[in-house]
Amino acid sequence: MSTIEAYAAHKPGGSFEPFEYDAGSLGPDDIEIKVESCGICHSDLSMVDNEWQMTEYPFVGGHEVIGRVAAVGDHVPSLNEGDLVGLGWTSRSCMHCDRCIAGDHNLCVSAQGTITHQHGGFADKVRCHWGWATKIPDGVDAASAGPLLCGGLTVFNPLVQFELSPTARVGVVGIGGLGHMAIQFCNAWGCEVTAISRSRSKESEARQLGAHEFLATNEEGSLEKVAGKFDLILNTTDAELPWDAYIAALAPRGALHTVGAAPSITATVFPMIMGQKSFSSSPTGSIATTRTMLDFVARHKISPMTEVFPMSDINEAFTKLREGSPRFRLVLVR
Ligand SMILES: NC(=O)c1ccc[n+]([C@@H]2O[C@H](COP(=O)([O-])OP(=O)(O)OC[C@H]3O[C@@H](n4cnc5c(N)ncnc54)[C@H](OP(=O)(O)O)[C@@H]3O)[C@@H](O)[C@H]2O)c1
Ligand SMILES: [Zn+2]
Ligand SMILES: [Zn+2]
């Protein structure tokens, strides 16, 4: 018997209540992490609400975990009790398919999620395969690092996938949890960064985070003014956007890349053909990219901007996320 004390929602849109479960014996390749903090990603909210029709209740969210290794399985080669680690969206992958062998563990077809195939990090402890727990290197502020493990990785990964040039002009759409980290990454990468938000209310913060330009989409003609400008537009919103206007804002060979879980995309193909433009998306990032991102974070002294709540105030924190008012990532601490 190995009891974990968590917070679970019991129905779509339900509030979190204390919930205890027996995690059973620890698998030989698994570790158990004593949770110190856990960020709240918008995906946790989408999962509570069963927006993606895949939530199982009782639902324990939480996939931006920072904590200490509390137990290691018999076959764990590289982690010891007491190590400071982070865990993100993925908790397991098969480690032997072509994708895993190529280093693209996040594309493994049998990958398992921290909050989709097991109970997550809104708890005192959480488990994962040793490979998906990444040591937090010196130079990364552990207290604010949780959001890097899902949100940060998700927006860092496209820069790696596209081998983005440091001379690129990048537009970041949506200045929330993911977007505010994307601005910092793209600035440190060397790019010219435009923050694209629904109004000017986040302008001063976006500029402090490293945005060189700011565009408010509620201003008439704002997108038309940047036609042909961007080599990469990184969409972090889950909204139906005026996709054709964003494609028009791309430079030739530019890519409109969405990591935000927009429900659908409708776009006119001909302008994409003429400008050799593309539309793409990606899930979080691999184990290797997680390590690279954390090195980059330490080197450039990047830090998510967080608002901290005790984990016992999880429902207050979720209310704040539903209202869309976090600046910029909410983190629960134990
Ligand atoms: N691909 C992946 O692997 C992956 C990983 C993590 C998260 N996600 C997804 O990424 C998305 C963002 O997550 P997050 O945690 O960053 O969320 P968040 O903190 O709530 O931020 C989302 C931002 O989108 C903008 N926005 C909200 N409603 C909008 C609307 N109706 N129209 C246009 N813009 C709107 C807002 O920015 P402004 O106020 O600046 O407009 C908001 O701050 C979610 O869909 C999440 O599920 C995907
Ligand atoms: Zn997430
Ligand atoms: Zn695999």
145 and 293, same structural domain?
yes
pLDDT tens digits, one per residue of 89-132: 999 999 999 999 999 999 999 999 999 999 999 999 999 999 99
Mutate to test the pocket of ligand 1, among 40, 41, 203 (most ligand atoms within 8 A of CB): 41
143 and 15, same structural domain?
yes
* Residue 174 in contact with ligand 1 by CB distance below 6 A: yes
Distance from Cα 79 to the centre of ligand 3, integer Å? 21
Q: Please give the average per-residue pLDDT across 196-211, as a whole number.
A: 98
10 and 143, same structural domain?
yes
Give the ligand at the shortest distance from the Cα of 95.
3
- Name the 3-class secondary structure at 229: coil
Task: Write down which residue in 240, 266, 281 finishes a domain.
Answer: 281
Distance from Cα 113 to the centre of ligand 3, integer Å? 13
- What does the block give as tokens for 19? 């919930």
184 and 296, same structural domain?
no
310 and 191, same structural domain?
no
pLDDT of amino acid 308: 98
210 and 78, same structural domain?
no
Q: Please give the average per-residue pLDDT across 187-210, as a whole number.
A: 98
CATH code assigned at 231: 3.40.50.720
The Cα–Cα gap between 229 and 258 comes to 17
The Cα–Cα gap between 3 and 24 comes to 8
Identify the band that residue 168 occupies on the pLDDT scale cut at 50, 70 and 90: very high
pLDDT of amino acid 328: 96
Measuring CA to CA, how many Å separate 174 from each of 196, 233, 258, 294, 307?
A: 6, 11, 11, 23, 18
For ligand 1, what atom is nearest to the CA of residue 262?
45
Contact at 8 Å (CB) between 81 and 51? no
Q: Are strands 3-9 and 230-235 parallel, antiparallel or unpaired?
A: unpaired
Q: Please give the average per-residue pLDDT across 157-161, as a whole number.
A: 98
For ligand 1, what atom is nearest to the CA of residue 321?
20
Distance from Cα 6 to the centre of ligand 1, integer Å? 26
Query: Is 70 exceeded by the pLDDT of residue 270?
Result: yes
Task: Write down which residue in 238, 259, 281 finishes a domain.
Answer: 281
- What does the block give as tokens for 225? 């003014």
Distance from Cα 106 to the centre of ligand 3, integer Å? 8
108 and 256, same structural domain?
no
Q: Please give the average per-residue pLDDT across 138-155, as a whole number.
A: 97
Total tally of structural domains belonging to the chain: 2
131 and 43, same structural domain?
yes
**Whose CA is closest to atom 10 on ligand 1?**
260
Query: Is 90 exceeded by the pLDDT of residue 7?
Result: yes
pLDDT tens digits, one per residue of 211-265: 999 999 999 999 999 999 999 999 999 999 999 999 999 999 999 999 999 999 9
For ligand 1, what atom is nearest to the CA of residue 178?
16
Distance from Cα 19 to the centre of ligand 2, integer Å? 22
pLDDT tens digits, one per residue of 37-92: 999 999 999 999 999 999 999 999 999 999 999 999 999 999 999 999 999 999 99
Give the ligand at the shortest distance from the Cα of 284.
1
Query: Is 80 exceeded by the pLDDT of residue 1?
Result: no
262 and 288, same structural domain?
no
pLDDT of amino acid 148: 98
CATH code assigned at 80: 3.90.180.10
163 and 266, same structural domain?
yes
Distance from Cα 175 to the centre of ligand 1, integer Å? 8
- What does the block give as tokens for 156? 């860092």
pLDDT tens digits, one per residue of 279-324: 999 999 999 999 999 999 999 999 999 999 999 999 999 999 999 9
196 and 146, same structural domain?
no
288 and 146, same structural domain?
yes
| Domain range for 130 | 3-150+284-333
For ligand 1, what atom is nearest to the CA of residue 179?
16
Mutate to test the pocket of ligand 1, among 47, 64, 198, 331 (most ligand atoms within 8 A of CB): 198
Burial class (CB in 10 A: 0-12, 13-18, 19+), 129: buried
- Taken as a whole, the chain contains a residue count of 334
Measuring CA to CA, how many Å separate 120 from each of 1, 19, 90, 91, 230?
A: 18, 12, 10, 9, 37
